[in-house]
Structures are given as C-alpha cells and as structure tokens.
Amino acid sequence: YKNNIIRTQSNMMLKEKNKELEIARDKAEKASNARSEFLSTVSHELRTPLNAINGITHLLLEEKPKKSQMHYLSSLKFSGDYLTKFINEILEINKIDSHKFEIEYINFNLKQLLENIQNSLKELALVNNNQFILKIDSEIPDYLIGDPTKLSQIMMNLINNALKFTKNGTVNVVAKLKSIANENATIYFEVTDTGIGIPEDKLKSVFDSFSQGSIEVNRKYGGTGLGLTIVKKIIKTLGGHITLKSVVGKGSTFSFELKFKVGSQLLKVEQKQKS
C-alpha cells in the first residue's frame, strides 16, 4: 500500500515535470519564431533602400567620375556590396535555422557544375596569381540527383575563401567517388589551398557566426565571418559533415561527403523537400 502511494506520488510529479517542460518548449519555440520573423523583416526592410544606394552608386561609377569622386564612390560601392552580402547571409542563416530551407532534387551533371564554378572564378584566381586545379574522378556517374544549387553555394564559398587566403599558390578541388551501390552514390569533395592556414585554436570556431581569424587577418582580408557558418549548416541539412585540417603557413583542407542518387542524361527530376 505504501509502495502504491509512493508510485502514485512520483507519477504525479513526473506528469507535472513533463507539463512544465512542454510549456518551456512551447515558450522557446514561440521566442525563436518571433526572433526569426524579426530578423527576416529587418533584413528585408534594409534591403530595399540598400538596393537604391547600390543602384545609384553603380550609375554614378558608370558616368566616368573625377578622380576625387572616384575614391568616394569606390568606398561607397565597397560598403554597399559588403552590407548586401551581410544581409543576404543573415537571411540565409535565418532560413536554415527556422527550417524554411528547401532541398531540391534535380538531375544534374557534376562535372559541368564544377567546371562552371572554375570558369566563374578564373579572374579571382588571377588576382592573387593562384592556380586553380579541378580533379574529378572519372568513375563518378555523369549525372546525379541532388541539390546542385546548394552544392554550388558550398563550393563557391570554400573556393572563394581558398583563393582569398592564398597568394602565388595552388587551390585544388577534388571530387572522388567514395561508394556506389543500388543507384546510391557517395561523393567525397575536397578544397585544398596552399595559403596562410588557420591556427589550431581557431579550427573549430571558424564555423561559428561572425568568427574570423586574428584581428590582423580580419583587417587585411575583410569578410563577414558568416560564409563558413552557412557552409556547415547547408552540408548538415544535406546529411553531411564538414572537416577542416589546416597548418599555419602551409594551407588548409576542407572536406565533406554527400549522398546522391544516380541520375541519367534523359531524366527530368524536380522535387522539393523542407529541410
């Protein structure tokens, strides 16, 4: 009888605790939704006047300004571009965190995608006199089904960083077939550079929002400190995991694996799914 009373009491306490937990979870979810809505509204509100500022700056730059004006306009353009990038990245992070990020399943050609990226970054590679080498494993099926837009976004971010933090060096981009079975292919991607490298105590924190290298590195290279946060989050929503190895003064290697379905040239697949 005594045991029964104790059991009933502890059951009641457990129920009470669960109720409290549920209320706390509900409150946290409401707060998170409110925060996400606030961020989204502010960002969109900022974007409209910023588009006007950027547009007018662009027009004035096209009108062959005087040297003295050119200096101010270039600075205006730099700030406008930075703010635009920053706002877009905040919106992107917000979208991923509030699960409004859609994953698409599209039949695409991986080689073409990587070569397009290589072409679009050719000029950037020249700026720091870097070599940009693409190595695509010939065993990878020509067509894959996955999200090419998100894969491009990941690659563009990683390669942009690699080219930015490397001078007179090499950036290697590798795509290797890790495994293939029953129309499922796992591809290993790697972006390696011979640049400045990242100190050991910063290897984890570079993926945190607003985290950048040392103050000197930050001052010299600029940036928002959000690129790698987005890369890590996108890879996670696609079911992968990013790894970073780096040695100061030698270079860095970012790598990750993603799963795809094997596609074909004739296939038309377009499907969306919330992350």
Q: Residue 224, interface with ligand ADP (CB under 6 A)?
A: yes
CB of 131 to ligand ADP, least distance (A): 15
Closest to ligand ADP by CB, 173 vs 262, is 173
- Judge contact between 168 and 191, C-beta under 8 A: no
Of 187, 206, 235, 238, the residue at the interface with ligand ADP (CB under 6 A) is 206
What is the rounded CA–CA span in Å between residue 212 and residue 272?
Answer: 34
Q: Of 87, 162, 173, 258, which one interacts with ligand ADP (CB under 6 A)?
A: 162
User: Minimum distance between the CB of residue 207 and ligand ADP, rounded to whole angstroms?
Assistant: 7
Q: Does 255 bind ligand ADP (CB under 6 A)?
A: no
DSSP state, residue 141:
-
Smallest distance, Å, CB 256 to ligand ADP? 14
Q: Which residue is nearest to ligand ADP (CB)?
A: 223
Distance separating alpha carbons of residues 192 and 202, to the nearest angstrom: 17
Question: In angstroms, rounded to a whole number, what is the distance separating the alpha carbons of residues 4 and 18?
Answer: 21
- Binding of ligand ADP by 235 (CB under 6 A): no
Q: Which stretch binds ligand ADP (CB under 6 A): 42-50, 117-125, 129-137, 220-228?
A: 220-228
Paired with 253 in beta bridges are 192, 245
- Residue 87 lies near ligand ADP (rule: CB under 6 A): no
3-state secondary structure 248-265: CCCEEEEEEEEEEEECCC
Least spacing, CB of residue 231 vs ligand ADP, in Å: 7
Does 146 engage in binding with ligand ADP (CB under 6 A)? Answer: no
Among positions 77, 101, 225, 261, the unique one binding ligand ADP when judged by CB under 6 A: 225
Is 217 among the residues that bind ligand ADP (CB under 6 A)?
Answer: yes
Closest to 234 in 3D by CA, of 83, 113, 104, 47: 104
Angstrom distance (rounded) from CA 26 to CA 43: 26
Distance separating alpha carbons of residues 117 and 134, to the nearest angstrom: 10
Whole-number Å distance between alpha carbons of 128 and 168: 6
Binding interface with ligand ADP (CB under 6 A):
161-162, 165, 193, 195-198, 206, 211-213, 217, 223-229, 252
